[in-house]
Each structure stands twice: as structure tokens, then as C-alpha cells.
Amino acid sequence: MKLKLSPQTVLILEAFLDHPAEWKYGYDLSRLTGLKSGTLYPILMRLADRKLLETSWETSELGKPPRHMYRFTPEGMQFAREQRTSRGTGPVGLPILNEAQG
């Protein structure tokens, strides 16, 4: 699958790989990866467009607006694992990339 894997995309894939079955929110991903919204959302959009991420609206409590959530599709999980293997890095690589982000 052709997808530009920038260091920021790698960070996001790694963040999802930590707990692949869990739904994640945009702000939580931003905090986890240290990416600003202007960088984070285009990558999420691209991943969702390529069916690597599935999105859903959280069923909200009364009076609370719903939040958008994201998690890997089976294809996304396979893709991320393949990419991790081909990069030859495990989850250990994540803090190093985080440091590079400043």
C-alpha cells in the first residue's frame, strides 16, 4: 500500500499500536505523540481515507456532545505491524522519535 510514512505518521501508527483495540480521541493522540492538531488531523484523514483507520462518534452521556474516536481497521493493524517490522524498530523507538519532535 502506497502511503507516505513521515516520522509524524510513524508516531501515530505507533500510538495506535500500543493498544490497537482501543478507541482513541484526537486530543489524546495529540498528547501521546506531541503533534499539533494541524499535523495530526491531515494524517488521520489520510489514514481513514485509505481505510487503515475506522472512525466513530462516541455515544455521549446526556448533555455532553459526542467525540470522534479512531482505531485501526484489521488492514491498518496489519499495515502498521508490517511497517514496524520493515523499519526494524519496536515500540522502543517511540520515545526516540518523540524526542526528535521536541
Please give the residue ranges that form the binding site for another protein (CB under 8 A). 25-27, 30, 36-42, 44-45, 55, 65-68
Between CA 76 and CA 67 the distance in angstroms is 21
- In the complex, the smallest distance separating the C-beta of residue 23 from another protein, rounded to whole angstroms, is 13
- In the complex, the smallest distance separating the C-beta of residue 11 from another protein, rounded to whole angstroms, is 16
Reduce the DSSP state of residue 100 to 3 states and report it: helix
Which CB atom, from 27 or from 82, has the smaller least distance to another protein?
Answer: 27
Which CB atom, from 25 or from 74, has the smaller least distance to another protein?
Answer: 25
- In the complex, the smallest distance separating the C-beta of residue 25 from another protein, rounded to whole angstroms, is 7
Between CA 71 and CA 95 the distance in angstroms is 21
